[in-house]
Amino acid sequence: MTFTVSPETLSKINSTHRQSVPALDVPVRLLLGPGPSNADPAVVAAMNRQPIGHLDPAYTALMDEVQNLLRYVWQTQNKLTLPMSGTGSAAMEATIANVVEPGDVVLVGVKGYFGHRLVDMAGRYGADVRSIHHAWGEVFTLPELRAALEEHRPQVLALVHAETSTGARQPLEGVGDLCREFDCLLIADTVTSLGGEPIFLDDWKVDLAYSCSQKGLSCPPGSSPFTIGERGLAKMDKRQTKVANWYLDVSMLRNYWGSGRVYHHTAPVNMTYAIREALRLVSEEGLETSWQRHRTNAEKLWAGLQDLGLSCHVPHENRLTTLTTVKVPDGIDAKAVTKALLTEHNIEIGNGLGELGGKVWRIGLMGANSKPENVDRVLEALGQVLAKMKG
Ligand SMILES: Cc1ncc(COP(=O)(O)O)c(C=O)c1O
């Protein structure tokens, strides 16, 4: 039987958003903002391979490798360590969705934009959300956290290790011990720290953590590390209610990522190729070398900014090496500067987010992008743009 279409139907089909567009052509930018960062060419090449089936033994072997490499970059023995399908927010939501039950008290340390996102997410899962606050760019001390745990007695404490909106690093040493004292789980957001900043998840006694692929791992966005330890699993296994998010339900996902290999959803196969290659490259370099490289290049950036008469928003001791917030000088239109960097120099840096909008720029030196040539390029371009603006 042949398929025939009436002239009226054909006209309808073609008038419904059919458009002739050229083959894909995107500019190659130097991405020195808060993310995504440029993907390593080896990662892009890995991603470019033909997909194979997500239950193919060749694929499940890759899954094991990815899980092990994630344990390495996070320094954890957690069995349930896997990349969630989706961006960092998916892995973030997975931590909340799996251990929070309606009515649980969830305490969030808010000192930037992503703390607010945790508050929002926990509330959506029915938590009794409490928050403690610091000015954007500051961090919590252990005594402050102890006082808050004493006051709120939460089931879960959530903290952002690397707050991308402010450029501040929240020290996590000792926080896990505190949480155990108060019988509470600790969730850590390591989206902007993984691969670039030292993380010792097990030593710090972090119970759940999440990250992303598109920053310190030099991979495109779309495959987001997630991990949960024994204490988190124990809480999850005692749930009275089903996890309210089907896609991110770890009680089902673990049957696919464990030895059963039970289908849950079609894995984003090519993203797994990509993150495997990205993690392989981190392992080849060595974490300690990567952390030192991030520090050396950040210090070079900070010195160069000072030479340009610019200052950083965060005090040196709490400054992230992966993401620097730079104060916008009085009288300068922040967005005009980022626009000029992009259009005239092909460099992306970030504008301020939330409370810091218009007040800071955000310069990321993450993953393979953290190198001296990139520091020189962004400093030179920024210097030229500012000089032109000041006339
Ligand atoms: C600290 C932090 N948490 C969570 C997220 C959310 O990740 P995504 O935008 O990949 O969903 C981001 C994104 O930049 C982030 O910086």
| Number of alpha carbons in the 13 Å side-chain half-sphere of residue 187 | 30
**pLDDT tens over the chain, length 391 residues:** 788 999 999 999 999 999 999 999 999 999 999 999 999 999 999 999 999 999 999 999 999 999 999 999 999 999 999 999 999 999 999 999 999 999 999 999 999 999 999 999 999 999 999 999 999 999 999 999 999 999 999 999 999 999 999 999 999 999 999 999 999 999 999 999 999 999 999 999 999 999 999 999 999 999 999 999 999 999 999 999 999 999 999 999 999 998 899 999 999 999 999 999 999 999 999 999 999 999 999 999 999 999 999 999 999 999 999 999 999 999 999 999 999 999 999 999 999 999 999 999 999 999 999 999 999 999 999 999 999 998 7
The length of the chain, given as a count of residues: 391
In this structure, the answer to whether residues 199 and 115 fall within a common structural domain is yes
- Is the residue at 243 inside a domain? yes
Q: Do 349 and 290 fall within a single domain?
A: yes
The two structure tokens encoding residue 319: 């400054």
- Domain assignment present for residue 223? The answer is yes
- Asked if 58 and 135 sit in the same domain, the reply is yes
DSSP 317: G
Cβ contacts of 184 within 8 Å, gap of 6 or more: 107, 149, 153, 154, 155, 156, 157
Angle at 351 between CA 379 and CA 330, to 5 degrees: 75
Q: Which residues touch 253 (CB under 8 Å, ≥6 apart)? A: 82, 264
Pocket test for ligand 1, best of 31, 37, 92, 275 (most atoms within 8 A of CB): 92
Is the same domain home to 292 and 273? no
> Does any domain span residue 5?
no
Phi, psi of 337 (to 5 degrees): -70, -50
Q: Are residues 109 and 254 in the same domain?
A: yes
Helix (H) or strand (E) holding 12: helix 7-15
Q: What is the CATH number of the domain that holds 367?
A: 3.90.1150.10
Specify whether the CB–CB gap between 162 and 197 falls below 8 A: yes
| Ligand 1 atom, smallest distance to 35 CA | 14
Residues 145 and 176 in one domain: yes
In the reported structure, the alpha carbon of residue 89 is separated from the centroid of ligand 1 by a whole-number distance in angstroms of 6
Query: What is the position in ligand 1's atom list of the atom closest to the CA of 165?
Result: 16
CATH of the domain at 159: 3.40.640.10
Task: For residue 38, give the nearest of 191, 214, 213 by alpha carbon.
Answer: 214
Given 240, 259, 284, which residue is the final one in a domain?
A: 284
CA 238 vs. chain centroid, Å, equals 29
262 located within any domain: yes
Quick one: 186 and 116 in the same domain?
yes
pLDDT of residue 390: 84
Q: Are residues 111 and 234 in the same domain?
A: yes
Single residue among 259, 284, 309 that ends a domain in this structure: 284
Chain centre to alpha carbon of residue 298? 19
Query: Pick from 284, 308, 339: which residue ends a domain?
Result: 284
Residue 372 CA to ligand 1 centre (angstroms): 25
Q: How far is the CA of 191 from the centre of ligand 1 (A)?
A: 6
Within-domain flag for 24: no
Is residue 296 located within the same domain as residue 341? yes
Q: Is the CB of 113 under 6 A from ligand 1?
A: no
Residue 295 lies in a domain: yes
Q: 166: CA distance to ligand 1 center in Å? A: 13
| Contact (Cβ atoms closer than 8 angstroms) between residue 278 and residue 221 | no
Q: Which domain holds residue 344?
A: 30-37+286-390
What's the confidence (pLDDT) of residue 91? Answer: 98
Q: Say yes or no: CB of residue 324 within 6 Å of ligand 1.
A: no
- b/e sequence 124-138, b meaning 16+ C-beta within 10 Å: ebebbbbbbebebbb
Question: What is the model's pLDDT at position 94?
Answer: 98
| CA-closest residue to ligand 1 atom 7 | 88
Q: CA nearest 69: which of 225, 241, 251?
A: 225
Q: Are residues 248 and 378 in the same domain?
A: no
Asked if residue 220 belongs to a domain, the reply is: yes
Structural domains counted in the chain: 2
Helix axes 334-345, 372-390, angle to 10 degrees: 120
232 and 332 co-located in one domain: no
C-alpha distance from residue 273 to each of 6, 165, 221 (Å): 45, 30, 13
Q: Is residue 219 in contact with ligand 1, taking CB distance under 6 Å?
A: no
DSSP single-letter state for residue 205: T
CA of 17 to the centre of ligand 1 (A): 33
Domain identity same for 280 and 352: no
Do β-strands 323-327 and 360-364 pair in parallel, antiparallel, or remain unpaired? antiparallel
Query: DSSP class of residue 118?
Result: H
Asked whether residue 204 is assigned to any structural domain, the reply reads: yes
